[in-house]
Every structure is written in structure tokens, then in C-alpha cells.
Amino acid sequence: MSPADVGHLSGKETLDRPTHEDMKSEKIFTVSGKHLLSEAAIEDATNSDSEELESRASGKHLLSEGAIEDATNSDSEELESRASNEPKKKRKINFTKDEDEAIADGVKKGLEWEVIVKVAHLQRTPNQIKERWRRMKEKDLVRPAKVRKIDEISSPYLREDETKAMDHINTRRKELEEEEERLRAKEMDLHTREQELNALEKKKSEREPGREDDMLKQHKKIICELSIREARQLREQARRIVAENSYRIGKIVSERHGTTYNDAWQDGHVFRELNLRIVQHNDKKEELEKVKRELTKKTKRIEMMEMRTPDIAKELENLQRERESLDIRQAYNRKEELDLMSEREGLSIEKNKHIREIKRINDEDASRWKDYPVLRERYVLLTLLGKGGFSEVYKAFDLQELMIVACKVHQLNTMWLDKKKENYMRHALRESQIHKSVVHDKIVRLYDVFEIDENSFCTVLEYCNGQDLDIYLKTQPVIPEKEAKSIICQIFSGLNYLNESKTPIIHYDLKPGNILFSDGEVKITDFGLSKIMEEDQEVMDLTSQGAGTYWYLPPECFEVSKEPIKISSKVDVWSAGVIFYQMLYGRKPFGNNVSQQKILQDKVIINAQLEFPAKPVVTQQAKDFIKRCLTMSQTMRPDVKSCFLDPYLKPSATTRKDKK
């Protein structure tokens, strides 16, 4: 039902009840032909002009400014006549019954006159319906039940439930205003915080440029001091252990021989006691042997006698008992001898480690870098790990990456000519370039290379917390085949990576001293003699004949020819085969206990014959693999990839089952 339909209702016409949407949009609905206002209309009218409502509640009929303006615009002639006090004949206006009920209903709901006109769609002016209401009250034309209720309450316009509704509305309005006030306060607080944050950001950006650098330097300094403090404690502990072992195991002393002094070993009390026990054991052994010889002679002399009396038979029986007792004593003596030999072997291994530690400490005390220097403002040198001909390797701490590294400091001889220094530097830089390009879990990483001064430079390497294979073989000369196989398999894994790179690399100096252990894993290091081959190149000229470790080099490296000697990755295959043989048998296959000079002079490697000792027992598959690696002919020898894929190095069915 449209608003126009509502406005034109007259008489006693009956209309259908409007929908909820109609009531909301029109704010009025009709029941039995009567104009009734909805609650929404009441609320709109109440909010629009609460002051008018209050004035009406007090019993005073006042027109709002809007009503006056409407009345002025609609009935200006009447207002002019009133203003000039000129009498004018009023025209009689007739109101219908529905209009009277709409006026009464609007007044009951506390609406202003102009609102009643608009909401009820009356074709009247506010002044006309106001006058009509006055006359209705005088003549009591309003419906008795409704009008009496309005007259009986304190306000002639409002009912008691409508007053409560107004109070509820005012309360909610007050709560909303308080909530708005809290939101405004929070917004102000947020705005203040944003301003403070912006001020801090501005302050941070305006700080001195070197402030952060100073803080970083301060942090580095603290870390450096802590690292040095720990290293100093470890040094003191190492020297304390050496002092204790020097008393227990022995020490190195200087002995004078004419005008020179030479280092000599002096046994400690443990070695002296062991040697004394060995001497006593040997004396006891000789005594038992002497008794045995006498018993044997006595027995033979009696047995040669022709007459065998009961006394002679009894004496032979006693000699036999003594012989059995002597055999038991000799068996016990042999067991005791084995124990003494085992103890002496263990002490010898401990002695070798002790001697190495003594030399390391002596080298550390004499080192130029002993006072914890910080190289390049980044690497603090802590503990000497080892010393070579022209280099020292230090355990160091990287203050930038916050990790342990190994710094290899190369020291050039100050007596060298400039050309020799230049050659050494070129060689070292070449090694660094080769090594830095290699990234594999079986190869020690190279992180950095830098110059310290005109006579020294440093290479920063991955730190390996274990020992090298050479030291391991000195403490355990013979390694079980399963363990040795695992080690050689990891070595070939690293060699295969070098061989499969775009420009294949020949290590050329593979030996136990260049095989490191780190957390149980094998890693190849020292690329000082490495050779880089061209892409798709199978062989290359050997330009450094005579370099390397002779026990581990193949025959082609010792050949003498007018033409340049050709080498390939098969050099590393031979070296790996020698290492595998040494791990299994506790000795080198060629030139064992022979000096490098004698190997070169006697052509030991060129004329070598491969032999396998009876002990320890090694599988035939391992021997066959060693034979393939140590093939004398370079052309017949398998390459790195073939050895890496060799069936012997593949996990066996048992191993795969165990892994599962």
C-alpha cells in the first residue's frame, strides 16, 4: 500500500493490513480504516524535536519553528490578517472522521502538528489540525476511551509506557555518547603513540652513522674476549696434561754431543716400571728354559740306562710330573709376555701422541701468531693445530659468521728472492682458486683467502674436529675391512665429484695425512698439488715431476722421457689403492719403511710387485679391488668413476637389510 493510498482514505472504508516492509517504509498502518502511527514514526518524531515534546508534556501547546514556517507558507493570508488585527471571515473547514482519529492518534503519540500532517498524509495545514484539535477537546468529539486516558495522565500527550521508552532511548543515547568518548580517547592515545613511534624512527635515522658500527664492534669484542678466554683455559689444560704425562710416560730432553745438542727421549716412571717387569719376565723365562733343558737331559740320561729298576721308574715318573708343571709355568709365562707386549704397544701409541703434543705446544709457543691475533678484524686465532714447512694451521673463530674455522697461515721465507716468493704466491693462489670452486660433503670447504702482509697470507678452511687418517693409522695400524671399506668408499665419492666437474681436477697428493675425519665422516683436503684438466680432456702433461709423496704415486709419475709425461685421474686411483692396502695390512704395499730418496734412486715403484700377506685375513673381493686400483699400466688401470661404481664398493645385500 502506497503513502498516497493512505492519504486519500476517507469515511469507513476498510483496507487490508500492510506488510512489514510497508509499515517500515511508510511508518503508518491502517486497521479497520483508521490511521495509526507505527513505533518507528513515533521514534523519528521523538528524536527530531524532543524539546517540543517536553513543552507539550508540561501542558503548553507550542508550535515549533518548522510548524510556524509551514503555517506561514501555507496560510500567509490568515497570519497577515492576525498580525494587522483586521477581522476576516473564516471559512468553515469540515474534517472527516478518519482525519479526526488520525489527529487524535498523533497527539496521543506526542507528535508535532507538521509531523502529524506528513505522517498521516492529511491535506491540511498544521494550523488547521491544531485548531481542529482545540475544537475537538472543547466539544469532546475525540473518542471517549482514548481521550480520557490522555486527559487522566500527567502529560496530555504521552502515556506511561511511552515515557519509559523515552527514558530508555535517552539512556542508550547517553551510553553511546560515553562509548564515543572512550573511542575518541583511544584514538587520541593511538595517535599519540604513532607520533612517538615516528619520533623514534626519526631519531634513529638521525643517529650518527658510525653508531651501529660501534655497537657491532663492541659485540665482536665481547665474543672475541670470550673465545680467547676459553682458548687460554684449553691451552693451560693441555700443558697440564703434558706435564703429567711427561712424568708418567716420558719427555724430550736435549743432549749434548760435542758442540751440538740433539733431542732425546727420556722414559717416565710407567715406562721404567714396564721395562723392569719385562726384564724380570725375560729372566724368569730364561730360568724356566734352563730348568726345561736340565729336565730334558736328565730324562734322556735315565732313559738310556739299560737296567730299569723300580727306583728308576719312579724317578722317570717324577721327572715327567716336573715337566708337566714346567709346561704350565711356561704357558703362564707366555701369556704374561703377551700382556706385557700389549701394554708396551699401548704405551708406545700413547707415547707417540704425547710426543706430537709436546712438539705442537713447542711450535705454538714459538709461533708468531701465539698471542690470539684477530686477522682481517674477523678471524681470531685460538689454538695451533699443526705446522708444516711454510704454514701453520690454527683453530680460529669467525666473528662474522659465528663459527669455528681453520686458518692456514702461509709464511714466506724472508730470505727468498722476489721471484721465488712470486712463484709461491702464484701457486698458493692457484690452489685457493681450485679449492674454492669445490663444494662437496666429502671435501673440506675453503671459505676465504686474504693477504696478511707482504710475506704472509691466510686461507680459511672448514674446521674438522677429528684427527687425520695418518694419526689414526699410528694408533691403530690395522683397520677392520668393513671400516676400511667405508673410508675408501667416501674417498672415492669425493674423487668422483672432482672428476665429474666441468673442468676435472686431479688431487695428485692423496695420502693418509690429507684425509681428515669430522664427526665420523671422511673429508679430503690439501689441494696444493692439484691439477686442473681442460673440458673433455682425458690426459694432461705432468709439469711438476718430483713433487708429491712417493709411496702413494703411480709408476707413470717416475718415468723418465724426453716427451712430457701424461697423467690423468688414474693417479688418484693408484693413491686410493695404496691407502686401502695400508689400512687393511698395517703397512704400505711398496717401499714400506724406505725413505723417499731411496724409492727414487732404486726405482722401487716402477719395479714393484704386489703381494698380499697371509695375516691379517682379508676377503678375496678386497684383494681383487686393490689389484685393479694398483694396476701398473696406466691405460689398463680403471678411472675414478669405474672404481666409484665398482661392485665391491656397493652396499652388500646384508648391509642393505641391516639398514632397513
Residues recognised as catalytic: 509
DSSP string covering 512-552: GGGEEEETTEEEE---TT-EEPPTT---EE---TT-S-GGG
* CB contact burial 24-50 (16+ within 10 A = b; e otherwise): eebbbbbeeebbbbbeebbeebbeebe
Integer angstrom CA distances of residue 109 from 56, 128, 165, 348, 361: 11, 19, 12, 117, 108
Whether 383 and 235 have beta carbons less than 8 Å apart is answered as yes
Other CB atoms within 10 A of residue 64 CB? 18
* Displacement of CA 431 from its chain's centroid (Å): 30
Dihedrals φ, ψ of 91, to 5°? -85, 135
- Residue 605's CB: how many other CB atoms inside 10 A? 23
> In the chain, what is the straight-line distance between the N-terminal and C-terminal CA atoms, in Å?
84
CA distance 382 to 394: 7
Instruction: Find out whether 408 is annotated in a ligand binding site.
Output: yes
Phi, psi dihedral angles at 476 (to 5 degrees): -140, 85
Cα distance between residue 510 and residue 590, in whole Å = 16
Which residues, in sequence order, are CB contacts of 634 under 8 Å at separation 6+? 554, 555, 556, 566, 567, 568, 570
Cα–Cα–Cα angle for 158, 164, 165, rounded to 5 degrees = 85
> What single letter denotes the amino acid at residue 185?
A
* CA-based nearest residue to 51, from 37, 68, 63: 63
State whether the Cα torsion 498-499-503-506 is positive or negative.
positive
- Summary count for the chain: helices (H), strands (E): 22, 16
Helix (H, G, I), strand (E, B) or coil at 609: coil
For strands 374-375 and 260-267, give the pairing. unpaired
Indicate the burial class of 588 (C-beta count within 10 angstroms; 0-12, 13-18, 19 or more). middle
CA–CA distances in Å: residue 181 to residues 112, 171, 185: 32, 15, 6
CA 114 – CA 133 distance, rounded (Å): 13
Cβ–Cβ under 8 Å, residues 491 and 442: yes
- 3-class SS string, 219-268: HHHHHHHHHHHHHHHHHHHHHHHHHHHHHHCEEEEEEEECCEEEEEEEEC
CB 407 within 8 A of CB 447: no
Q: Is 102 exposed, middle or buried (0-12, 13-18, 19+ CB in 10 A)?
A: buried
Question: d(Cα 52, Cα 158) in Å, to the nearest integer?
Answer: 12
Instruction: Kindly provide the residue ranges of all beta strands, DSSP E only, lying in 258-413, ordered along the sequence.
Output: 260-267, 374-375, 379-387, 391-398, 403-411
Q: What is the SS3 assignment for 33?
A: coil
> With contact defined as beta carbons under 8 Å apart, do 63 and 113 qualify?
yes
- Annotated binding residues for ATP, written as ranges, equal 408
